[in-house]
Structure 1
Amino acid sequence: MTQIAVVYHSGYGHTQRLAQAVAEGAGGQLIAIDAEGNLPQGGWEQLAAADAIIFGSPTYMGTVSWQFKKFADASSKAWYAQEWKDKLFAGFTNSASMNGDKFNTLAYLFTLAMQHGGVWVGNGMLPSNSKAAKRDDVNYLGSYGGAMAQSPSDAAPAEMAAGDLETGKQFGQRVAQIASRFKR
Structure 2
Amino acid sequence: MSKVVVVYHSGYGHTKKQAEAIANGAKAALIAIDAEGNISEEEWQLLDNAKAIIFGSPTYMGTVSWQFKKFADASSKAWFTQKWKDKVFGGFTNSATMNGDKHSTIHYFITLAMQHSGIWVGTGLMPSNAKNANRDDINFVGSFAGAMMQTPSDASSDEVNSGDLETARLYGQRIMTFVEKN
| TM-score of Structure 1 vs Structure 2, range by shorter chain | over 0.9
Question: How many Å apart are 1:40 and its aligned residue?
Answer: 3.1
Q: 1 CA distance for matches of 2:165 and 2:88?
A: 22
Question: How many Å apart are 1:38 and its aligned residue?
Answer: 0.2
Deviation digits for residues 68-110 of structure 1 (CA, Å, limit 9, x no counterpart): 0000000000000100000000000000010000000000000
In structure 2, what residue type is equivalent to 1:105? Answer: T
Structure 2 partner of 1:139: 139
Q: Does 1:69 align with 2:60?
A: no
Q: Does 1:48 align with 2:48?
A: yes
Q: How many residues align?
A: 182
Q: 2 CA distance for matches of 1:57 and 1:38?
A: 14
Question: How many Å apart are 1:155 and its aligned residue?
Answer: 0.2
Q: Does 1:19 align with 2:30?
A: no
In structure 2, what residue type is equivalent to 1:104? Answer: S
Q: 1 CA distance for matches of 2:131 and 2:97?
A: 21
In structure 2, what residue type is equivalent to 1:133? Answer: A
Gaps of 5+ in 2: none
Gaps of 5+ in 1: none
The correspondence of residues 82-121 of structure 1 with structure 2, limited to 5 A, is 82-121=82-121
Structure 2 partner of 1:122: 122
Deviation digits for residues 130-183 of structure 1 (CA, Å, limit 9, x no counterpart): 00000000000000000000000000011011000000000000000111002x
Question: How many Å apart are 1:41 and its aligned residue?
Answer: 4.3
8 Å CA contact 1:33–1:40 kept in 2: the answer is no
8 Å CA contact 2:2–2:29 kept in 1: the answer is no
Q: Does 1:168 align with 2:163?
A: no
